[in-house]
A and B are shown apart, each in its own frame.
Chain A
Amino acid sequence: MTNVHSIPSPSIQSGDRAHEADHPTSLLATFGADEPLRLDCGVDLAPFQIAYQTYGELNADRSNAILICHALTLDQHVANVHPLTGKAGWWEIMVGPGRPLDTDRYFIICSNVIGGCMGSTGPASTNPATGKAWGLDFPLITIPDMVRAQAMLLDRLGIETLLCVLGGSMGGMQVLQWTAAYPERVFSAMPVACATRHSAQNIAFHELGRQAVMADPDWHHGRYFEQDTQPHRGLAVARMAGHITYLSDAALHRKFGRRMQDRELPTFSFDADFQVESYLRYQGSSFVERFDANSYLYLTRAMDYFDIAADHDGVLAKAFAGIKTRFCVVSFTSDWLFPTSESRALVHALNASSARVSFAEIETDRGHDAFLLDVPEFFDISRAFLESAGKARGLKTGG
């Protein structure tokens, strides 16, 4: 008999997460039946709500607002303690007083995406028609839907033009959608580690993750909350597969190599002998504590559907025709999920549109996740780009 340790059950109660989905520990904008969110699938979503966080203060002429668009498995808790995990915000290294996104100078907003599970309406939220969670009854959403919702939030906040929209990965997709859909509202844009469309390989990885969730008997066709359970094994496997794509061979090798986990010799079992296995299992189980499985299905689907050129007669440059927005495109050398070639294609299209674009490829072996890590060159570029955008917009320097 071999010794098999599967992924541990989550310690955070699913009830806490469900509560967070409807009553978030965040600022909340609610939209009633008279203000529906028009979704690409043809459904008018109403009522709905957007949970968001802000940092810093909006200046008198409302010119210093920056919108951060978060990635697939992140949320609006950019620079504050996360209400579920108790951990630091995911971009504290970037956002704060004196940081590249300087909260002494800028007013920074980040909202949970529509379809998410941290307080903006999504499959984990309560469907007002049934009094139960939406589950798979929630309409399919797209990246443009997320951005449309963010635009409604900005209208509510009275912010017409953003000094900058920035984000990495799925956040970068939203940045590009912002510039394509609302170019006049975006003074500058910083799409990081992203692409103008999701590649076949990336769709394939997402499908793997979704199938892992749906193959878990605890998924119950998306109605697991009614059984007081959750597909934590399936979601953890999805997270493990996804997490591998966020790293790189070199980073994994550097971090773990073939080193053993608390042992000298192999146990001749399927226990986590290797450090890398133990690490992945930890990543999987900790993710399950803060994320809703259905939400993962919806958000990965939204990324799969993303293809800006397809919405503009197949010609990418048309999406940015005549755009005045200043762009700073950033990629990382070891990112194989959104490789530099994707960013380069974007830059070519922006050049063809005569947009003002900077493009930096940053040398790092840390893979796709590099945008979340301590990469000083990335900070320098972000800081300088925002400063030059602020200067061009007449924002007072220093302070």
Chain B
Amino acid sequence: MALQDQTLPLPGIVPDRIGSDRTDHLLVAGMVEPGSRVLDVGCGDGELLQLLESRGIDGRGIELSREGVNRCVAKGLAVVQGDADTDLVNYPDDAFDYVILSQTLQATRQPRVVLENLLRIGRRAIVSFPNFGFWKMRLQLLIGGHMPRTENLPATWYDTANIHFCTIKDFVELCDEINVKMERAVALDLYGRPVPLNLPWWVWNMFGEQGVFLLSRGGKGK
């Protein structure tokens, strides 16, 4: 697996937040070139969009929950109510420089189709998701015999919105399969700190609580 690992914009690590911003948001925002047009799919309360706009990035959002949308609009953000599974098809090709799917992939009905749409609408995509290969998850299943629950994913199996979990390894395989190029990959540990980059893949897959990927359309001929 050839990955371009780069230094992270997170020198002094403070767990979870730097100032008022979430570290995973800072990481994602750091992947976006200034002056770009960005679509944040599943933008929640618009926290990431606000961070992007504060950096002069032209941000738009899609959010499933009406409450989330209305809170975003009340913040002056350009957010529409919509569903990643059904509404991405309405966006034209190359409409954005980046399309961000933050902690939402596992809640979509068709993650593969969604991923393909992200890279049709945007020249690049930034995808983050909880890693089901994280050691705590494995331990809960292996020792406890339960479907894993964590601080970030507290729902029980019967009421969770997250229906398509994967591991970092699974995601990398999907990217290969649909010819998506990984420009950057970062795993964050339980505290939102990046897992050291010089470690092998299995360490990432074991100690990364979430994966953050910068993707572009693959150059591989089929």
Contact = CB atoms under 8 A, between A and B. Distances in A.
Contacts, number: 64
B90 A348 contact: yes
A385 B60 contact: no
Contacts of B78: 326, 356-358
Interface in B7-60: 37, 58, 60
Contacts of A362: 66, 70
B69 interface: yes
Contacts of A377: 70
Given A326-B78, A358-B78, A361-B66, A352 B73 contact: no
A359 interface: yes
B91 A352 contact: yes
Interface size class on chain A is 20 to 34
B91 A351 contact: yes
Contact of A347 (B70, B77, B80, B92): B80
Contacts of B200: none
A347 B80 CA distance: 8
A283 to B, nearest CB: 31
Interface in A326-364: 326, 328-329, 347-348, 351-352, 354, 356-363
A133 B87 CA distance: 51
Contact of B80 (A326, A359, A363): A359
Most chain A C-beta atoms within 10 Å of own C-beta, residue among B73, B79, B95: B73
Contact of A381 (B74, B82, B87, B90): B74
A357 B80 contact: yes
B76 A391 contact: yes
Most chain B C-beta atoms within 10 Å of own C-beta, residue among A356, A357, A359, A363: A359
Contacts of B76: 384-385, 387-388, 391
A184 interface: no
Interface in A360-399: 360-363, 377, 380-381, 383-385, 387-388, 391
A384 B75 contact: yes
Interface string B71-113: 0111111111110000100111001000000000000000000
B80 A381 contact: no
Contacts of A356: 58, 60, 78
Contact of A351 (B72, B74, B75, B90): B90
B211 to A, nearest CB: 28
Interface size class on chain B is 20 to 34
A385 B80 contact: no
Contacts of A352: 90-92
Contact of B69 (A360, A380, A383, A388): A360
A107 to B, nearest CB: 21
Contacts of A357: 60, 78, 80
Contact of A385 (B58, B73, B90): B73
A357 B87 CA distance: 15
A391 to B, nearest CB: 7
Most chain A C-beta atoms within 10 Å of own C-beta, residue among B37, B77, B87, B90: B90
Nearest to B60: A356
B69 to A, nearest CB: 6
Contacts of A384: 73-76
A278 B60 CA distance: 48
A347 B87 CA distance: 11
Contacts of A358: 72-73, 77-80
Nearest to B58: A356
Contacts of B81: 359-361
Contacts of A383: 74
A328 B81 CA distance: 12
Contacts of A361: 66, 69, 81
Nearest to A377: B70
Nearest to A327: B78
B78 to A, nearest CB: 5
A348 B90 CA distance: 6
A145 B16 CA distance: 57
5 contacts: A357-B80, A358-B72, A359-B81, A363-B66, A384-B74
Counting from the closest, the 8 A-B pairs by CB-CB distance are: A388-B76, A359-B80, A348-B90, A384-B74, A358-B73, A380-B74, A356-B78, A360-B73
Interface of A: 326, 328-329, 347-348, 351-352, 354, 356-363, 377, 380-381, 383-385, 387-388, 391
